[in-house]
Chain A
C-alpha cells in the first residue's frame, strides 16, 4: 500500500545504572556522566535563568525536594527532531520512527526558592518516598531561580523559564544515546483503524479518553498539545504513539498530586497497558484527547465531542482519565455519562477529595451511570513526615508559597513546615502523587 500512513514507534531503552558528574557528558555501559558546566550552559541559554545548579539524587538518599515543578525523561529522536515539537523546536509528526530513551531516570525541575499552587514535593527515602513515583528514579535535578518577577510572589506560576530549561536539559542529556544500540526496544504499532484485519476488528474496540488540565484562560499555564494550548482545542482523535513520543507536555496549574508531568505523558501507563491487551482482548482504537476547561458549556461541548468520536469509531468501551479534581470532576462525570448514553461502556480513573476527615463527597459531581471507577488516592489526605538531612530547593516554600498541600497557618496543625524541618501537609502537594496516568498503587477504601 503506497503512501499509507502508519505510525510505528520504536523506543530504544538504555537502562541507567548510575549517574555522576565528570569531564564529558556521555552514556557508557549503564553509567551516565554529566559535565556540569556544559549542562549548566545549556540551562542558562535562557537569560531569564539567574542562578542554577544541577544535583544528582538517587533512591534511598535522605533528600527532600521542594518545590518540584516538572519531570521529563531524557530522550533523543533519531530523526534529529525536537523532543517536543511545537515547544522545543519546530512542529513535526511524532510517534513514528525511533526514539532513544534513558530509563530509570528523569530530569526534575525544582525552584531554588519560589513555589506555587501547582508545585510539589518528593522525598527520595523514608516514609515519604512511597507517595510519589519519582523516588524510584535516579534523578538529575535542576534547581534554579529566574528573573520572572511578575510571578515570584504569585500563587499561580507559569514557571516558563524553569520548565523550558528542564526540557533543554532533557534534550541535551538525551543526545548521549544518539549513536548507540539500546538494551531493548519497545515497539508500538496500531494499523489504520478501518484497515485492521478481522481478528482485530472482532475484538471490542476501546478508546482511551485523556482529560489533560486546561483550566486557565491566559496562556502559559495549561498542558500543550504539539505546542497548542489545550484550553483552545476541541476533543480530537490522536494516535497513542503521539502521546508516548512527545506530542504532549505538562502545564503549570493543576494541584500537584493530580498532575501529569511530561514524564507521565511520555510513559503513560494506561496507554502501555492497552497496547498489551491490543490484539488479545481488545482492539485499541486510539486516544481521544479532550481537556478540562472551566465553563460549563465548554465542559458539555467536550463531553459531546468525546462521545461522538467514540461512537462514530464504533468503540465498545472507553477508559476516561482525569488530570485533576474539583471542577474538573464535572468534566469527568460528564464524559462518562455522555459515553454511556452513546452506548460506550466506561471505566474511569481519577483521584478523590474526601477531606482530611475522609467524610466529604469524593467527587464534586456524581452520577449513577459512572458505575466503574478506579480511585487512585485522596487529595486531602494528611501526611506527616520527619525532617530530611538535605533539602533541595527551599523547604519553607511548602508553607509560604501556597502549594496546594501546604499552608502557613492552621489552627490545629500550625505551619506546614516545623522548626525542626519536619512537615505536615496534604497529599495534594505530593509530586504527581496520585499516579492517575496509571501507576498509582493506592486506592480509596471505606474506613
Chain B
C-alpha cells in the first residue's frame, strides 16, 4: 500500500500554453502530467492524478474552479496534495494556496507547496498549508519540487513532530508545546538568555512577538437616534439554566437571549441571568448582570431618544481560554445575525 499523491500545477507547467492559456478550465489527468514529473521521482509513492488549471481561470472563478476540482477528487483515493512549486508567480501562488486550503479542509490530507518569499501567496496561505521557501523562477524547479516531495514523505511515513525551524517551511503561526530532547529546564534557559542579553550577545526568544493584524475601521454612525444597537458580551451572561450549554472556558458555543421590551436584566436570585465565565469571581455579575451587559443604561438612552432602538436579542459567550479561531467563527456567526436584523452598531462588553 504505497502513498498516493495528487499534484496541482498551472497551465504553463501543465504544458497547455503560456499567458494565452491562462483561462484554461481545470482538468484532472491520470498519473503524472507536465511538471508533476519534478515531484514524482522524489516522492515515496505514486502520483495518481495531476490537476491542471489556468491561473486566470482560478483567480476569476475561484469558487467554481475549486468546486469542480473537489468534485473530481471526491472518488480519488489519495494521501497528500502537492501544489506548485509556484516560485515568484503571484497568481500561481494564490491558486496553489486557494486550492490547497480547500483540499485540506475537504479531504483532511496534508498539503505541501513551495513559493518564493516575495510571492503574495505566502502571507495569504502559510497559516493553512505547508509552504516551503522557493526560488525566483523555474530554474529552481528541481530543488523546490524535491523539497516538497521529501517533506511529503516525512509527513506520511514519520511520526513527527515537524517543527518549522527544523523542516524549513514558512512559520504557520501554529505553536504547540514541545518536550526538549535535551531536557534543559526553563530556569537554565532563562539564565542563559539573561546572560546573553546582559552581555550584548545574540539570543533567541522562545516567543517572538508576532505582527498585529487590524481590521478596517467601521464608519461612525451618522444619526444614533435612528440606529439599532445590539449588545454582545464575552462575559458569559446567560439564563440561569444555561440552555445553550455554553462552556465556562474554551467556549465554542454562543447564545442569543430575548430582551425585547425589557428595561434591565434580572439577576440570578430572580432566577433569570447569571454568569458562567470561569475566569473571575462571579458574585457581582450574578447579583446584577447589568454590570456586565448594561441593558438598563442602554434602555434609558433609548427612552431619551439618544438611540433608535435596542435589538431584541443580546449575544453571549465566554472569553477565557477561547481560541482565536473559535472566537472568530462565533463573531462571524453573530455578525451574520446582526446584519440580517439590520443592526448598525454594537456595544461589546468583555470581562
Contact = CB atoms under 8 A, between A and B. Distances in A.
B163 interface: yes
A155 B198 contact: no
B175, B278, B283, B325 interface centre (most CB from chain A within 10 Å): B175
Interface string A241-283: 0000000000000010000000000000110111001000110
Contacts of A204: 198
Interface in A205-224: 206, 215-218
Given A345-B197, A404-B249, A443 B187 contact: no
Interface stretch (B33-41, B188-196, B330-338): B188-196
B182 to A, nearest CB: 9
A137 B229 CA distance: 58
A353 interface: yes
Nearest to A116: B278
B324 to A, nearest CB: 4
Given A294-B280, A375-B207, A206 B194 contact: yes
B252 to A, nearest CB: 7
B191 A443 contact: no
A7 to B, nearest CB: 22
A358 B176 contact: yes
Contacts of B252: 410-411
B323 A447 contact: no
Nearest to A216: B281
B323 A317 contact: no
Interface stretch (B136-144, B165-173, B261-269): B165-173
B245 interface: yes
A286 interface: no
Contacts of B326: 355
B198 A316 contact: yes
Given A319-B190, A353-B321, A359 B207 contact: no
A201 interface: no
B254 to A, nearest CB: 13
A371 B165 CA distance: 19
Interface string A302-337: 000000000000001101000000110000000000
B153 interface: no
Contact of A366 (B175, B185, B209): B209
Interface in B168-222: 171-180, 183-191, 193-195, 197-198, 203, 205-207, 209-210
A402 B248 contact: yes
Interface stretch (A21-29, A84-92, A106-114, A376-384): A376-384
Contacts of B302: none
A443 B178 contact: yes
Contacts of B161: 445, 447
A280 B282 CA distance: 49
Contacts of A327: 279-280
A217 to B, nearest CB: 6
A361 interface: yes
A317 B194 contact: yes
Contact of A443 (B206, B278, B281): B206
A363 to B, nearest CB: 7
Interface stretch (A53-61, A68-76, A433-441): A433-441
A265 B161 CA distance: 33
Given A273-B187, A402-B248, A362 B278 contact: no
| Interface size class, chain A | 35 or more
Nearest to A404: B249
Contact of B178 (A355, A356, A367, A445): A445
B323 A355 contact: yes
A379 B281 contact: no
Contacts of A117: 248-249, 278
A136 interface: no
B205 A441 contact: no
B320 to A, nearest CB: 6
Contacts of B177: 377-378, 381, 427, 442-444
B127 interface: yes
A351 B183 CA distance: 17
B94 interface: no
A31 interface: no
Interface in B244-285: 245, 247-250, 252, 278-283
Contacts of A277: 191, 195
Contact of B165 (A270, A380, A445): A445
A441 B324 contact: no
Contacts of B282: 156
A357 interface: yes
B279 to A, nearest CB: 6
A410 B251 CA distance: 10
Contacts of A379: 321
Contacts of B279: 326-327
Contact of A269 (B162, B187, B245, B248): B187
A371 B209 contact: yes
A372 B174 CA distance: 20
B205 A361 contact: no
Given A269-B187, A357-B174, A438-B186, A317 B197 contact: yes
Given A326-B320, A359-B174, A447 B163 contact: yes
User: Which 7 pairs show the lowest CB-CB distances between chains A and B?
Assistant: A355-B323, A438-B187, A446-B164, A360-B324, A358-B174, A373-B207, A378-B177
22 contacts: A204-B198, A215-B280, A215-B281, A255-B249, A277-B191, A282-B198, A354-B174, A354-B176, A371-B205, A374-B186, A378-B175, A378-B176, A440-B186, A441-B183, A442-B177, A442-B178, A444-B177, A445-B163, A445-B165, A445-B178, A446-B164, A447-B164
Interface of A: 117, 130, 155-156, 204, 206, 215-218, 255, 269-270, 272-274, 277, 281-282, 294, 316-317, 319, 326-327, 345, 347, 349, 352-363, 366-368, 370-381, 402, 404, 407, 409-411, 426-428, 435-447
